[in-house]
Amino acid sequence: MDTTMSTRDLRKSNLVPMALVASMFFILGFATWLNGSLMPYLKQVLQLTPLQASLILFSFYIAVTFTAIPSAWVIRKVGYKTGMALAIGGMMVAGLLYIPAAKTQTFELFLFAQLVMGIAQTLLQTAVNPYVVRLGPEESAAVRVSIMGILNKGAGIVAPLVFSALIASNFTGLVGKELSQDEIDLMANSLILPYLGLAGFLALFALGIKFSPLPEIREEGEKDAGGSVKEALAHPNLVLGVIAIFFYVAAEVIAGDTIGAFALSLGVVNYSVMTSYTMACMVAGYILGIVLIPRVISQQTALTASAVLGMLLSLFIVFGDASSSVLADTLLVPFGGVSLPDTLLAIAVLGLANAIVWPAVWPLALSGLGRLTSTASGLLVMGIAGGAFGPLFWGLASGAGDAGSQQFGYIVLLPCYAYILYFALIGHKKKSW
C-alpha cells in the first residue's frame, strides 16, 4: 500500500502522525535536557573548569554544523519515516558510548558520546520539525510546534528529576567537597545502568517507528530533488531565520544547561534539578502560545515580546544581587517551594521568554519556500549550532569560574535577544536581497 500523502491529504488525517511525532519530541527533549544535569555532574566528577564543562554542550550542539545539510539529503533519499527511525537508532548507539566513558572516566569519550548524540538528534530534528509545520495551515504552525514544544520541554522537566532520583540524589552530601578517588568512582559508575536502560528503550522505539503506519509527506509538485542550497539562500527570510535560530538556541541552552553549574557555584545542593525550573517556565510559555496565537496576537508580535522580555531578564541576571532570595521567598516558598537566589530564578524565567521563539521563527523562515522546504529545514537546523557556541562564550566570559564571574558571563545573552528582536520586527519581512 502506498503510504505517501500530499500535505493536503495528510491534514485531513493527521491524528496518528501527530501522536507519533509527539512521542519523538518527548524523546528529543529527554535526551537533550539531560545535558543540564550531566554538565554540572561531570564538572564535579571530573573536576572541570567552566570552560571545560561548556565543551560538554559544545560537542553535542556542534554536530549540526556538518550534519544538517547531509541530514536533509538523507531525508530526501529515504523519507521522513525511515530517517526518523535511523536517527533514534543513532541516539541508541550514543547512549551505549556513555558506558565506557563512565567506566574509564575519560573526558574525551564523554565528548565523543555527546557528538554522536548530537549527530543523531540533528537528523531527527531535520525530519520532525518540517513534518509538524506541514501538518496544517501555515498561519497556525506556531501552535502545532508549541504543542510539540510542551512535550519536548515537559521531557526537560522530567529528565533532570529522573537524573537526580537515579543518580545525583545519592551524592548530595558531596556538593562543595573535594572528592576522594573512591567517591569519584562511585559517582562515575552510577551513570552506567541508567544510560544502558536509555539505549535499550531507544532501540525498541526505533523499531516501533520503522514498522509504524506513519505516512510520508511530500509537497504538491515536489519530486525527489528538494532544491539546492543556493536556491534556498536566495530567500532572505530563511537566511535571517537561520541566524535567529542560532542566537535563540544559544540563549535557550545557556538558560537551560548552565543554570545547574551556576547553582553548584552558589552552593545549591539540588543543582541537578535546576534545569527543570527553566523547562517548567518554557512549558508555561508554550501553553500561552497555544492560547494566544493566532487568536489574540500574531506570531510576529509574540516573537517581539519574547525578545524584549529576554533582554530585560538578562540585565537583571547580570546586575542583580545573587545573595537576595526575595522572589523565591515570595513566589515559591509560600507554596512549598525552595528558597533560591533571585538571579538563579531569573535564569529559569528565561524559559518563558524563550518558549515562543522556536515555533514562531520556523514558519516565518519557511514562508514561501515550497519545494525548497526540506533543504531550508536542514539550514534552519544548522542554526542549532548556537547551542555549541552560547555556553562556550558563557564559559569564556565566566573567567575564573567563581559565582560572581559566572553571573557576569550571562552578559552574552543580550546580543542574542537583540538579534531576535530584529528578526521579529524587520528580518522576517524581507523577501528579496
Tens-digit pLDDT profile for residues 137-189? 666 666 777 778 788 878 988 999 999 899 988 887 777 778 889 999 999 99
Residue with cell 509560600: 334
| 195 close to 98: Cβ distance less than 8 angstroms | yes
The one-letter amino acid code at 55 reads L
Tell me, what's the pLDDT at 397? Answer: 92
Cα–Cα distances in angstroms (integers) from residue 56 to residues 169, 195, 392, in the given order? 21, 16, 10
CATH homologous superfamily of 4-429:
MFS general substrate transporter like domains (1.20.1250.20)
Tell me, what's the pLDDT at 334? Answer: 87
| 268 close to 340: Cβ distance less than 8 angstroms | yes
E strands within 154-259?
Answer: 216-218
Phi, psi of 6 (to 5 degrees): -75, 165
Q: What is the rounded distance in angstroms from the CA atom of residue 308 to the CA atom of residue 161?
A: 30
Tens-digit pLDDT profile for residues 332-355? 888 888 889 999 999 999 999 998
List helix spans (H) across 293-426.
299-319, 326-331, 342-354, 357-366, 373-382, 386-397, 403-409, 413-425
CA 256 to chain centre: 8
Region 348-363 average pLDDT: 90
Strand-pairing partners, residue 4, are 216
| The three cell numbers locating residue 429 | 519581512
Tell me, what's the pLDDT at 2? Answer: 45
Tens-digit pLDDT profile for residues 54-97? 999 999 989 878 887 788 889 888 888 889 899 999 999 999 99
Mean pLDDT of the chain: 86
Query: What are the sequence ranges of the domains in the chain?
Result: 4-429
Q: What is the rounded distance in angstroms from the CA atom of residue 197 to the CA atom of residue 179?
A: 27
